[in-house]
Amino acid sequence: MADTVREIERKYEATDETQLPDLTAADRVAAVAERGVAELDATYYDTVDQRLASAGITLRRRTGGEDAGWHLKLPVALGIRDEVRTPLSDAPPPELTALVRSRTLGRELAPVIRLRTRRTVRLLQAADGTALAELAVDAVRATRADRTGAEVRWHEIEVELTGEGGGDAALLDEVGAVLAAAGVRPATAASKLARALAETAAEGAPSKPSKPSKPGKSGKPGKRSGKKARTAGDIVLRYVREQVRVIIELDPAVRRDLPDSVHQMRVATRRLRSAFRSYTKVLDRAVTRPIGLELQWLAAELGVDRDREVLTARLSGALAQVPRTLRLGPVSARLRIWSQRRRLGSRREVLAVLDGERYLELLRGLEALLADPPLRGAAARSAPEVLVKAVLKDYARLAGRVEAALGTPPGPRRDEALHGARKAAKRVRYAAEAARPVLGKPAKKFAKRTKRVQQVLGDHQDSVVARGALRELATQAQRAGEAGFTFGLLYGREEALAAERERQLPAVWAKAAPPSRW
């Protein structure tokens, strides 16, 4: 069984002669308690090409101390990591190797570094005795696990917040200021492993893993560092790389069932597939189409859980607005059981997908595409020229679908047509978002207006789906001898809401025209 703790810490350079200052000089530190010395022995695992280290991830087997076992550290933000722990075993546990599968892509994990640390621990306490942080002075001996057996030694200081102290990172700033005043400087390496790999690397080998990307929740483009992109290929590939990064980084979050992770991963798959379809003049469709079909499959599999989640929230919210006098029968309990049964099934299906070979092949295909992008002639042309044409082409397709839907008589056929227009609106929005780095504010405003069309159409489609679920719930209630009145009432309200969205659409659509000048 895996446990997770949030690690918030700072690291500092030290020598065997470094003297700690009076740490009670920090405002909130009233006392420093000696906690003794611990002998730690950790073996770090990675692939031959150090895929985990390149992503800022560490997987180790450690003995000694109070938390002996396997530890997987996943980056959350600068100086913050989630540490997933499992009990000691001989080989890396499946619970942890699954969490890095999107990085390793099936490659073998083997020992790369052994770290033996003599740790002297002090507890920083508040006036009431609360443990605020733990300060450790570490004497480290790192040994390469390969045949070179290269070894290096150093000292460092770690200051880590404790859960008891509430996790206030401002305390780390206070302690850091006291250390800085005493001449102690922040560590240059992000972790012990990063330093060990760099300082034990063989001559001619890379001195350290490539810099990991910063963790993030969204696949939205626009605020990325690096060389300014100018060609259409530069812009489209930047967008594609961002979506692939998001998919890979969210894989462990989905496995851990973190909030909104499934939704964000699904959005990234859709953005990526949309880019392949919108920018066919930049990326060869013969190469991207098979990958796009696999992305469509993945989005559909992820959607099982996400759609259940959205639908449950919608129905629960609607039910909460019904007066108690009109809630006939155990409607809340029936809705809850209905949702829970679907969640158990959908959760198992999502994990099975992520553990499957088909998903692994998709990730390998994305890696290969980024390593050797299938660029076409237009990729070398000016980005604004190529991207504007692509966005306008998608807009023309959307316009045709909206006009066709509005011209279709109310009923199932119109519902289907409006759903098609919604998907087209999403594609236009994503194409405009991808073009924002070069088209600027006009693209941003256009994407925002298109999003509003998408939202109106999306709410309409959600109503269509909700009505189907309400019919199912009413049928179940009837078979159980319960009143179906409340579900019928909700059905009527959903019908009225859908009709209102259809009335709103022409006005919203009229405001969604592309800019006259980009």
pLDDT score, position 214: 47
Q: 161 CB contacts (<8 Å, ≥6 apart)?
A: 8, 9, 132, 133, 167, 168, 169, 171, 172
pLDDT tens profile 441-491: 999 999 999 999 999 999 999 999 999 999 999 999 999 999 999 999 999
Average pLDDT, the chain: 92
3-state secondary structure of 256: coil
For the chain, the first-to-last Cα distance in angstroms comes to: 55
Q: 462 CB contacts (<8 Å, ≥6 apart)?
A: 310, 311, 314
pLDDT score, position 512: 95
Beta-bridge mates of residue 186: 12
pLDDT tens profile 211-237: 444 444 444 444 443 445 589 999 999
pLDDT score, position 339: 85
List phi, psi (to 5°) of 278: -80, -40
Q: Closest by alpha carbon to 23, among 14, 32, 15, 10? A: 32
- At 88, the amino acid letter reads L
What would the two tokens of residue 496 be?
Answer: 């009225």
What would the two tokens of residue 321 be?
Answer: 């607005």
